[in-house]
Amino acid sequence: MRVLGIDTSNYTCSTAFYDTQSRRMEMAKHLLPTPEGSLGLRQSQAVFEHTKLLGKMMQQLFETADGLPEAIGVSVRPRNVEGSYMPCFLTGKMAADSIGAVLGIPVHEFSHQQGHIAAALYSAKRLEWLHHSEFIAFHVSGGTTDCLLVKTGNGTIDQIKMVGTSLDLKAGQAIDRVGVSLGLPFPAGPYLEQLALQCTDKIKTQPMVKGLDCCLSGLENQCGKLKEQGAEPSYIARYCLQYIQQTLERMLLATIEQYGKKPVLFAGGVMSNRIIRDYFTGKYQACFAKPEFSSDNAGGIAVLAGKMEELA
């Protein structure tokens, strides 16, 4: 079964072509352009950029794809809960419905969050977790800092229960704001990581965790004070990432205490950070996606659509 995946998130236009038999994945994706010094895009601008980019991504993808798709998967909302909506996902849905109608093939709809989890499982070679498993997943990005209890059925994600979240700023937002304040490009994640790796100082942070939830707005303020005090940019970058790392660890330990020890998966763009990834892999044997499957991508959407077709 050859499956086309489409994901039009707020920052990335992404397509994927997945072969369910060989498990080979081809992807073509592109970050949406953002004005220099800005901290994001308006939804109207994101829709406009996706409209310009999606055809180019399809053309690039099918230069190497073997044959035409037999099914399509598309992300249509941020989370699979009532009221979860962003206009940018309409661009991908329109393309999927149009291609599906022309080719006469099924179109399967998923949430962006489901796609992130499936992409992480694919990349970490843990697709067996899609069959009657229960695990803890962190979805950490510009729009989410969520701790989730995930239950899967026969190849599907049956339930995603949010047990902890950030009550204010999200981790990706904090990273971007701190990075831009240091003169780094947006999105700032990869640049902040490179800067942080230059710092070898021992750093202590005091994350704000309330039960299973966290607050990250204080991180931006603390990094601002460090800058005013003349701290080196590399120190501020390291402080920022270590604060987020320790916040996630406290959330994980609180979740384990309440729900019991379970396998742990990290997904989302922030989780492509190697400092955080190495820490949780070494201490908790957590599973992470490779960087290209941590950031927004259509790969997980294609995998889930393929699973739906296998069950049909």
Residues 301 and 273 in one domain: no
- In CATH, what number is assigned to the domain containing residue 41? 3.30.420.40
In this predicted structure, the answer to whether residue 81 has a pLDDT above a threshold of 90 is no
Whether residues 254 and 299 fall in one domain: no
Whether pLDDT at 40 is above 80: no
pLDDT tier, 10 (very low <50, low <70, confident <90, very high otherwise): confident
Q: Are residues 116 and 209 in the same domain?
A: no
- φ/ψ region of 165 (left if φ > 0, alpha if ψ in -120 to 50, else beta) reads beta
- Contact status, residue 286 vs residue 138, Cβ threshold 8 Å: no
Report pLDDT for 77. Answer: 96
Together in a domain, 192 and 297: no
Bridge pairing between strands 145-152 and 134-140 = antiparallel
For the chain, what is the domain count?
Answer: 2
- Residues 198 and 247 occupy one common structural domain: yes
Distant-in-sequence, close-in-space partners of 285: CB < 8 Å, separation ≥ 6: 264
Task: State pTM to two decimals.
Answer: 0.90
Assess if residue 153 is contained within a domain.
no
Is residue 289 very low, low, confident or very high in pLDDT (cuts 50, 70, 90)? confident
Q: Do 29 and 116 belong together in one domain?
A: yes
Residues 174 and 227 in one domain: yes
In a domain, 157, yes or no: no
Evaluate if residue 37 carries a pLDDT over 80. Answer: no
Within a domain: 56? yes
Query: Are residues 109 and 46 located together in one domain of the fold?
Result: yes
CA-wise closest residue to 39 among 10, 14, 62? 10
Range of the domain at 114: 2-124+292-311
